[in-house]
């Protein structure tokens, strides 16, 4: 199954905040950090529900992420972008009931892939969920 989160949600320029943005918010106020995490989990769940119906994975899965950041803002390092988005999206998949859990028992981390590119259009994050045999 594949789904896409498309739009400018973070400061009206990026799809998701980076890990540094999230850590900054936690430092300002722990409740602010929790609010940001919850907000982006909801964005991920909404994008997922739009395409998945009631798809649930009973076994192990892995993820293939593709990130398209705005070409005008080529300042964020890739791992900064991946870290927050991975965590929030995997937590959202668990909360939505799509995966059992985001622990190593249910998610094969050795097969997770990330692809990063820049776009002149609307930024997006695409996630493909693959069952692991």
What are the residue ranges spanned by the domains of the chain? Answer: 2-131
Which class in CATH covers the domain with range 2-131?
Answer: alpha beta
Evaluate whether 10 touches 21 at the Cβ level (below 8 Å): yes
Closest CA to 67 of 1, 7, 118: 118
Q: What is the pLDDT of residues 41-83, one digit of tens each?
A: 999 999 998 886 778 999 999 999 999 998 886 778 889 999 9
List % helix, strand, coil for the chain (3-state, nearest 5).
Answer: 45, 25, 30
Determine the pLDDT at residue 122. Answer: 93
> In degrees rounded to 5, what are phi and psi of residue 84?
-70, -45
pLDDT of res. 133: 86
The confidence score (pLDDT) of residue 117 equals: 93
pLDDT tens-digit readout, 77-103: 889 999 999 999 999 999 999 999 999
Per residue in 105-133, pLDDT tens?
Answer: 999 999 999 999 999 999 999 999 999 98
Contacts of 19 (CB under 8 A, 6+ apart): 79, 80, 81, 83, 84
Asked if residue 18 lies in contact with residue 70, where contact means CB atoms within 8 angstroms, the answer is: no
For 7-24, how does the pLDDT look when each residue is reduced to its tens digit (9 = 90+)?
Answer: 988 888 788 999 999 999
């Amino acid at each position: 199954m594949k789904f896409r989160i498309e739009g400018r949600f973070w400061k009206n320029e990026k799809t998701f905040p980076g890990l540094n943005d999230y850590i900054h918010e936690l430092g300002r106020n722990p409740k602010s950090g929790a609010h940001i995490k919850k907000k982006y989990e909801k964005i991920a769940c909404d994008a997922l529900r739009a395409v998945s119906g009631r798809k649930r994975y009973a076994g192990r899965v892995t993820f293939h992420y593709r990130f398209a950041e705005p070409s005008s803002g080529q300042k964020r390092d890739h791992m900064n972008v991946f870290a927050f988005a991975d965590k929030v999206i995997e937590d959202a998949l668990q909360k939505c009931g799509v995966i059992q859990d985001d622990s190593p028992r249910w998610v094969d981390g050795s097969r997770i892939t990330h692809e990063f590119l820049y776009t002149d259009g609307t930024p997006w994050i695409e996630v493909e969920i693959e069952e692991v045999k």
